[in-house]
Structure 1
Amino acid sequence: MTTVSATYIENRQRVQPDDTNNYGSAHGGNVVKWMDEVGAMSAMRHAGETCVTARINQLNFEQPVPQGEICVIESYVYAVGKTSLRVRVRAYREDPRSGEKSQTTDSFFVFVSIDKNGTPTTVPSLDAPTDRCQALRDAALESEPDS
């Protein structure tokens, strides 16, 4: 059994000119791609199998990530079903010089665990034994949109 905090992954992507839109900030499609990739890593860490995106339940862009800044993606599994995993994924903008960080995007992804034939497979239960695990799970459940 994996814990919520064991699925926590944080990744960074420097926003380069090729990543930007006409306004000099990260193109929304690139941010979603980065979020999907990191979210899948969290899901796979828990499931021990390949996981594919089944749904993006909500995706809110709150502010842009300007070219030259860092897009920090954080994700973790907060709930599981029989073959599905619910993953909270957030993006932040981070100044590479000062380290100042603020949230830019919040989302809830659903992934499905599959075997080598593409058939959905059962995922193990998820445990939240520590205060950090419980805090992560509670924060996701409190913010999760109605399904």
Structure 2
Amino acid sequence: MTSPSRTVELRELVLPALANHHGTLFAGHGLQLLAKAAFLAARQQAQGEVVMARVSGLDFLAPVPVGHQLRLRAWVSRVGRSSMTVCVSAQADAPGQAPAPALQGFFEMVAVDGCGRPLALDRFDIPQETSA
């Protein structure tokens, strides 16, 4: 996955509270972090509130041990009438080691109004970005 220049980036330290009994990032916490990054990228793109409609792909590429830092990058790759596709990738970093791909996911997010109904994105001047 490659990311365009307009991305949201988050960093998270994997502490024991985020780990499973093997001492690596628990999958549920990994999904939560990916979803948070997707939400922030979609909300920035929509210039308003969004909700998650679907996770269309999720890959756990490598275990992430306690003490490693996750660097999550999220970007909008497709904009529809009220929905958008957000790609998220995460790399694990540890002191003295090269960053390694760890997680990736694809999220379908929908712009919503105050009542939670889909809201057309064409009311904004949103640049259409495509994935490579």
- When the two structures are superposed, what TM-score results if normalisation uses the length of structure 2? 0.89
Query: What secondary structure does 2:114 align onto?
Result: coil
Whole-angstrom CA distance in 1 between matches of 2:104 and 2:36? 15
Percent identity for Structure 1 against Structure 2:
25
Q: Which has the higher helix share?
A: 1
Check the 8 A contact 1:89/1:107 in 2, yes or no: yes
Q: 1:99 Cα deviation (Å)?
A: 6.1
Q: 1:76 Cα deviation (Å)?
A: 0.2
Whole-angstrom CA distance in 1 between matches of 2:77 and 2:127? 8
| Unaligned 5+ runs, structure 1 | 129-133, 139-147
Kindly tell me the number of residue pairs found equivalent between the two proteins: 126
Q: 1:93 Cα deviation (Å)?
A: 0.8
100 and 84 in structure 1: CA distance in 2 versus 1, 3 angstrom threshold = same
Q: 1:57 and 2:94 equivalent? A: no
1:37 alignment partner in structure 2:
36
CA deviations on 1:116-137 (whole Å, 9 max, x unpaired) are: 1111101144334xxxxx6xx2
Which residues in structure 2 correspond to 1:21-100 (within 5 Å)?
21-95=20-94, 97-98=95-96, 100=98
Whole-angstrom CA distance in 2 between matches of 1:33 and 1:92? 15
Whole-angstrom CA distance in 2 between matches of 1:98 and 1:55? 37
| Unaligned 5+ runs, structure 2 | none
Whole-angstrom CA distance in 1 between matches of 2:101 and 2:87? 13
- When the two structures are superposed, what TM-score results if normalisation uses the length of structure 1? 0.80
Query: What secondary structure does 1:126 align onto?
Result: coil
Whole-angstrom CA distance in 2 between matches of 1:98 and 1:80? 39
Which segment drifts farther, 35-44 or 99-108? 99-108
2:17 alignment partner in structure 1:
18
Check the 8 A contact 1:79/1:126 in 2, yes or no: no
